[in-house]
């Protein structure tokens, strides 16, 4: 069965911790989105503040940054289990994958909407998960780009046993077609975090997985 993975995107460490404490009461995994103002125009929490995140559950991180390696020293492998970095950000993904594994993280590739599968094919077997973006990077609450589902279906057909994730714009109106494409992990941001009752929103989405 697929998983719902709530995500946190904010430039305020106090707000990030507040959301984390809410989400950890009902979710088994949470994704922290990191933006550096270079790879994308927006900023999230600062590298020096990451250590302030305190939780009892496993976190994963989505690095939307120009230099993923520079952020690794700020990530505690006892808290962060999986590190996603963007394949578009680095000239030699294979080298970075090895370095991330060397720090005891699981590794994931994140892919922009327009990036073809041919770019990630040489590296798929080296990583634990591939994350397909279904919105333009930069902020939560953007429109879902359904054209990514065709790419996801193709990837799923080529790598039927590989973990496949999606992130961006997923909500109760489109989650069924996302599931039909073969997704394992569904990242959900504003549909949960900006709802009046985040737990209720999470459970309604989770009910769709059955």
Helix (H, G, I), strand (E, B) or coil at 133: strand
The domain ranges of the chain are: 3-207
Higher pLDDT, 140 or 117: 117
Q: Six-digit token pair at 35?
A: 């933006």
Per-residue pLDDT at 194: 87
Label residue 135 exposed, middle or buried (CB < 10 Å: 0-12, 13-18, 19+). buried
Measured CA to CA, the distance from residue 124 to residue 162 in angstroms comes to 8
- pTM of this prediction exceeds 0.75: yes
Per-residue pLDDT at 143: 87
Measured CA to CA, the distance from residue 135 to residue 123 in angstroms comes to 23
Residue range 3-207 forms a domain whose CATH class is alpha beta
* Dihedral Cα 23, 170, 185, 26, nearest 10 deg: 20
Q: Which residues contact 164 (CB under 8 A, 6 or more apart)?
A: 129, 130, 132, 152, 155, 156, 182, 183, 184, 185
Average pLDDT over every residue of 23-44: 95
Query: 141 pLDDT exceeds 70?
Result: no
Measured CA to CA, the distance from residue 126 to residue 107 in angstroms comes to 8
Average pLDDT over every residue of 171-191: 94
Percentage, residues of the chain above pLDDT 90: 90
pLDDT tens per residue, range 61-81: 999 999 999 999 999 999 999
């Amino acid at each position: 069965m697929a998983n719902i993975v709530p995500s946190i995107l904010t430039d305020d460490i106090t707000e990030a911790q507040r959301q984390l404490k809410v989400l950890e009461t009902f979710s088994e995994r949470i994704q922290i989105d990191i933006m550096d103002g270079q790879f994308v125009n927006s900023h999230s929490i600062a590298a020096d503040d990451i250590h302030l995140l305190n939780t009892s559950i496993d976190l994963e991180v989505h690095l939307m940054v120009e230099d993923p390696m520079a952020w690794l020293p700020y990530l505690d492998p006892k808290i962060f289990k999986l590190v996603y970095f963007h394949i578009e950000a680095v000239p030699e993904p294979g080298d970075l994958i090895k370095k991330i594994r060397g720090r005891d993280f699981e590794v994931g590739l994140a892919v922009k909407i327009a990036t073809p599968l041919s770019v990630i094919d040489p590296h798929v077997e080296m990583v634990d998960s591939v994350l397909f973006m279904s919105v333009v990077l930069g902020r939560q609450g953007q429109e879902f780009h359904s054209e990514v589902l065709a790419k996801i279906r193709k990837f799923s057909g080529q790598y039927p046993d590989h973990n496949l994730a999606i992130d961006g714009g997923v909500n109760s109106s489109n989650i069924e077609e996302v599931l039909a494409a073969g997704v394992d992990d569904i990242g959900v941001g504003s549909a949960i975090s900006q709802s009046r009752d985040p737990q209720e929103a999470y459970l309604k989405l989770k009910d769709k997985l059955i």
